[in-house]
Amino acid sequence: MQYTWNDIEQHVSACTHCPLCRTRQRPVMGRGSHRASIMLIAEAPGGQEDRQGVPFVGSSGEILDRLLGDCGLKREELYITNIIKCHPPGNRDPKEEEKEACFPYLKYETFLLKPGIIVCLGRVAAQRIISPDFKITRQHGTWICRKNCALTATFHPSAVLRDPSKYETVKKDFLGIAEKLRSLNTDKPIDIVGK
Ligand code: URA
């Protein structure tokens, strides 16, 4: 059976696959265009996202919007999601078992979207999606190709909040993403994020 976007959303909203279901206020399903070529994958919803049930509505979202605007990209052209769909208390890193419990949702999102470009925002997403030994400081802005999809990573917008001098570095990475979008081949791949 082939799940629809609606099916995934229903499953996420009722999910009890890990203990975060007891502390979350609202699960945060990915948002954006279901026809987008670019999928942004971040780590986990923050406190504001937990209250609203929408990704990147807090202060990290403001940085993200500024980066997108500076690079001529619009949120409506993207699909934005997280490795885990529920807020970890105190914004701690997601645990291994939480990431694994949530991974099928990301697989379905990727399968339905078939993005040509995946951008991991931050170390946690890059290490889960690109490679477990990905070094965000050394490897941000580099590209690999997997099953006809271009994958890259940059710093998480919250890293820019903590250290505003990183803004220009992340902006350069986003300019590379905008350029990649322009050069995109329109064949849509499947099964990109692996097991
Ligand atoms: N940080 C994330 O990693 N994801 C969000 O949705 C918001 C903040």
Lowest average pLDDT, out of 47-51, 118-122, 189-193, goes to 189-193
Helix 96-113 vs helix 5-13: angle between axes, to the nearest 10 degrees? 160
146, β-bridge pairs: 149
- What's the whole-number mean pLDDT along residues 56-64? 95
Q: Is the CB of 53 under 6 A from ligand 1?
A: no
User: Which phi and psi angles does 104 have, rounded to 5°?
Assistant: -55, -35
Helix (H, G, I), strand (E, B) or coil at 80: strand
- Residue carrying the six token digits 């929408």: 54
- Predicted local distance difference test score (pLDDT) of residue 2: 84
CA–centroid distance, residue 1 to ligand 1 (Å) = 31
- Predicted local distance difference test score (pLDDT) of residue 193: 75
Q: Is the CB of 45 under 6 A from ligand 1?
A: yes
Report the residue among 25, 52, 56 best suited for mutation to probe ligand 1: largest number of ligand atoms under 8 A from its CB. Answer: 56
pLDDT digits (tens, 9 = 90+) for 84-127: 999 999 999 999 999 999 999 999 999 999 999 999 999 999 99
Three-state SS string over 114-157 comes to: CCCEEEEECHHHHHHHCCCCCCHHHHCCCEEEECCEEEEEECCH
